[in-house]
Amino acid sequence: METINISKGFKITLAGMPDISVIQIPEPETIAVCAMDIPYIRPKLLIKENDPVKTGTPLFCDKRNKCIQYVSSGTGTVKKIVFGERRRLKEVVIALNKNDDFIQFETLSSTDINAVPKSKIKKLLQQGGLWQSFREFPSKDTADENHDPPMIIVSLNGNDPFSPHPQAVLENNTEFFEFGIQILKLFSNRIVVTSRQSSLDRLNGFKDDITHIVPDFYPAWDPGVVLYQLKRTQKENRSWCISVEHLIRVAQFLLTGRYPVKRVVTVTRSNDKKPHILTRQGAPVKDLVGSLDENSLITTGRFNGRIVDPQTHIGFFETTLNIIKDNQKEELFGFIQPGLATPTASKTFLSCLAKTPKNLDCNIHGEERACINCGYCTSICPVDLAPNFIMKALLSDDIEDALSYGLLDCCRCGLCSYACPSKIELTKLLSDGMDAHYKDKE
Amino acid sequence: MNPLKKLLDRSEKYFTGSGKFNKLAPLFDATKTFFFFPSPKTRHRPFVRDNLDLKRFMSFVLIALLPVLVFGIYNTGFQSGLAQGKSFTLIQSFLTGLRYVLPIIIVSYGVGFFWEIVFAVVRRHNISEGFLVTGLLFPLTLPATIPLWQVALGISFGVVIGKEVFGGTGRNFLNPALTGRAFLFFSYPLSMSGEVWVAAKNTVDGISGATALSFTALSDSGFTLSNLFFGLVPGSIGETSALCCILGALFLVITKIANFRIMIGGMAGLMVTSIIFYIIPGGSDTWMNAGPLYHLCAGGFLFGIIFMATDPVSAPGTNPGRWIFGFLIGFLTVTIRVVNPAFVEGTMLAILFMNVFAPLLDHIVIKYNASKRIPNV
């Protein structure tokens, strides 16, 4: 086990860490397969409303590569297909039947796995709706099946500081985890498994598999950050990554031949210690969050997720729901308050002297101003970018310069926007720049 | 509800949309957000944001300037008393000083804000907080006896030519306060460093320039090292006391508002250069022979390197760039003082000169950093 030294990141202790125990909630009435959390997808529907579907029936595929399918995680009938602006597919809602009726796929076993051709495993995973678990850098699009990745990074921790604890995910799944690693070894020569420092003491059974330990502040465990720290050659820029939760489901699917429907999610809010929740994939958000303050924001990752509506369903890649309070009051002379409990990455509030857990709210705390080159974004960026200079290059349409400054190393962690005193949407600008470049290349 | 909030809410309709004074919307916004800190909901990721904003950032510089300002006011009165041959008490000095300094500050803020509002209205953007600092830095670099119309002219030049013509705060490459001062220095050298200006009418012949910088016989006329350190010497309002500047510097460095690299780099550059000149034989009793400590405490160098050079907009944005930037300011300050006694205001010229080079330093550092990265295209 190696330790990766990362010095920059979000080092404030947050309040509202979920409890490690796992509870199960009753089966929901509806589930959905969501298209909003899938990057770059151009969905093509394969079913109509009121069609009956089984668990594992493909609902839509990606027009760019029709082999990549997104399948139903429940048995029932298609209740509604929800479209957003410009008829963008948002989600396919399915009213669940009492019992699951699985589509049975071919099974593999861990003894003869080395004899199976790689292409067959890939085909199986694409049919089973799990190939998209593999993401390819630098854009984190669905992995290209014809490309042999130089490295595959398995992250035991999710996208948010309070994503499910790996122990809750790995519990009773040791066999699947080991098999998953075996599969990855077929795809690539170098498998990197990373874990947060704090997760480690509950992962005794898996210590042999973990190759790298990362520090315990966001976003050190992000695969993009890990890749940046580990890569030595230009070829490694096209590495793959997969989360441990998806790896287990890939293995489970290949071993049992059935689409795995259960998953662990966390629901976090400040001043709360809710346990982890075991539920069906695509469960309704309102079932998970319970009662809600009207003004609060529900996100699937406070730094790099998306805003979700309580009436929608959780997506394939999402394992956390953060409920972030709206602190609406406009303080008199707010800009010069001493701030005894104010969370901040700067040293301008008295709260930076105490290490007590802080509550973040979903407010901007100021107005947008021009960049004053203060360098807060540079000093917090985990992949050593200078977001202020990249932003200026992007705004002047100088994509070549932006790329040479390392734009594609950006892991979209959101910390530059978080820290910016001028409240510039740096993450959005950089992320849009990367997307534009990627779509241009495609 | 707060009555002030009520008043603001009630008058909002006149300033927004098709209201009677909708052209003055930036002024209304500035007033409103000064009293009531705005905090809308986030719309893009990340959905949480830090509590530090530009208003707080700039206000902290003002807090750091307080010791300098208070001492400057006191010293103005004290020097005025000395020049009149009277010995003022603490309060007397302070009140006399206030009589001279307050109008200068009011004119500086008033005229400067006028230009800020004009440009904000024409360009339809909100008023940036950067001027809060410029408006106080500028008067502190002036002698207390400067005519008020020159203050107005100087701040106008600094704000308009030094900043707004380039697009406003964040886009200027020169420090606006120093630009204004340089303009006055070259246009009206007599008011800036003439011989007879001490803050009192009918004074005896001169002791004071803007800055104590004609080294020969300076020590004899009261400019000893300890006087320069504590600041009880004639000079510009804010820059006489090294001690107060250092207090401000500590505050800025601890809160990480200003970058310590520029300050340390600048002091190192000044020390090294002045020691080299000190070692070179000859030049006794000139600036060459002044020694590092005298160079450090004299002539507003500390004020410049702590409050002016650390202006993030006109300084480099990369750490190696900041070290070099600071070091060269120190080097140039001493060089200008020693080599060209006609321009005794070495610090001001050195900072402005290095401001021009800051983008180049950044460019070199960024290109170097980019060449060290594993290419990802």
Q: What pLDDT is stored for residue B212 in this prediction?
A: 44
Q: How far is Cα B221 from Cα B254, in angstroms, rounded to an integer?
A: 37
- Helix (H, G, I), strand (E, B), or coil: what is residue A57? coil
Mean pLDDT of chain A: 91
| Residue A89 located in a structural domain | no
Decide if pLDDT at A395 tops 90.
yes
Each residue's pLDDT tens digit, A169-220: 998 899 999 999 999 999 999 999 999 999 888 888 888 889 999 999 999 9
For residue B1, name the pLDDT band (cuts at 50, 70, 90): low
Q: Which structural domain, as residue segments, surrounds residue A396?
A: 366-441
| Chain A residues within 8 A of B4 when measuring between CB atoms | 332
Phi, psi of B247, rounded to the nearest 5 degrees: -60, -50
Residue of A330, A333, A361, A441 to mutate for B, most B C-beta atoms under 10 A? A330
| Higher local confidence (pLDDT), A91 or B125 | A91
Q: Is the dihedral of CA B255, B261, B267, B268 positive or negative?
A: positive
The residue among A253, A210, A212, A282 whose CA lies nearest residue A107 is: A253
| Residue A194 located in a structural domain | yes
Total of domains in chain A:
2
Decide if pLDDT at A374 tops 70.
yes
Domain boundary among the residues A256, A277, A310 is at A256
Q: How far is Cα B117 from Cα B124, in angstroms, rounded to an integer?
A: 10
Q: What pLDDT is stored for residue B208 in this prediction?
A: 38
Spatial strand order of the sheet with A320-324 comes to A19-24, A275-280, A262-269, A320-324, A297-299
| Residue A130 located in a structural domain | yes
Q: What pLDDT is stored for residue B188 in this prediction?
A: 86
Residue indicated by tokens 């597919």: A89
| Residue A121 located in a structural domain | yes
For residue A279, name the pLDDT band (cuts at 50, 70, 90): very high
| Higher local confidence (pLDDT), B202 or A394 | A394
Residues A242 and A375 in one domain: no
Residue percentage of chain B with pLDDT more than 70: 90
Residues A373 and A244 in one domain: no
| Residue A164 located in a structural domain | yes
Decide if pLDDT at A1 tops 70.
yes
Q: What pLDDT is stored for residue B5 in this prediction?
A: 79
Q: What pLDDT is stored for residue B195 in this prediction?
A: 40
Which ipTM was obtained for this model?
0.90
Would you call A421 and B40 a contact, using CB atoms and an 8 Å cutoff? no
Name all domains of chain B by residue range, CATH numbers in brackets: 56-368 (1.10.3430)
Domain boundary among the residues A256, A286, A305 is at A256
Concatenated DSSP letters for A99-158? S--BPPPP---SSSGGGS-HHHHHHHHHHTT-GGG-EETTTTEEPPTTS--S-EEEESS-
Nearest by CB to residue B37, choosing from A233, A335, A372, is: A335
CA distance A425 to chain B (A): 8
| Residue A96 located in a structural domain | no
Domain boundary among the residues A201, A222, A256 is at A256
Nearest by CB to residue A335, choosing from B2, B59, B317, is: B59
| Residue A78 located in a structural domain | no
| Chain B residues within 8 A of A369 when measuring between CB atoms | 54, 126, 128-129, 169-170
The residue among A182, A159, A190, A92 whose CA lies nearest residue A415 is: A159
The residue of chain B nearest to residue A374, with distances taken between CA atoms, is B312
Q: What pLDDT is stored for residue B370 in this prediction?
A: 92
Decide if pLDDT at A39 tops 80.
yes
Q: List the CATH number of the domain containing A250.
A: 3.40.50
| Residue A209 located in a structural domain | yes
Decide if pLDDT at A275 tops 70.
yes
